[in-house]
Amino acid sequence: MKIFKLLERLDKLLKLINNSNTGTPKELARRLGICKSTLATYIEYFRLMGAKILYNHKFKTYQFNPGSELKLAFGLFIIENGKVKKIFGNINHPCDC
């Protein structure tokens, strides 16, 4: 499904920005499997939500203002008789958020 692919892509983007390890916009778009204009849309969307994302030309990476980060938490689980089975996501249990 497209929504799962989008969530995985956004999660990877945020992890790379949090680690200041994105590379240039062209390199980052290629790593995420998207075009540069889509990448720019994602970055702008995060900025509109209040994230302070900068591009460091010296180190060729996107990064958040020092001391800040943005995280995405999502998961899909089946819970039967008190047992939790993870289906998809970047958290291991529904209570990890």
| Residue-wise pLDDT tens digits, 67-90 | 888 889 999 999 999 899 998 898
* Residue 36 to residue 46: CA distance in whole angstroms: 15
Mean pLDDT of 47-56: 95
Q: Is residue 39 part of a domain?
A: yes
pTM for this predicted structure: 0.85
Nearest of 40, 36, 26, 32 to residue 10 by alpha carbon: 32
Task: Identify the residue whose tokens are 């249990």.
Answer: 93
* pLDDT confidence band for 91 (50 / 70 / 90): confident
Confidence (pLDDT) at 92:
81
CATH number of the CATH domain containing 45: 1.10.10.10
Residue ranges making up the domain that contains 60: 2-64
Q: Is residue 31 part of a domain?
A: yes
Beta carbons within 8 Å of 46's beta carbon, 6+ residues apart:
14, 53, 70
The count of structural domains within the chain is: 1
Read off the pLDDT of residues 13-40 as tens digits, 9 standing for 90 and up.
999 999 999 999 999 999 999 999 999 9
Q: Is residue 88 part of a domain?
A: no
Confidence (pLDDT) at 24:
98
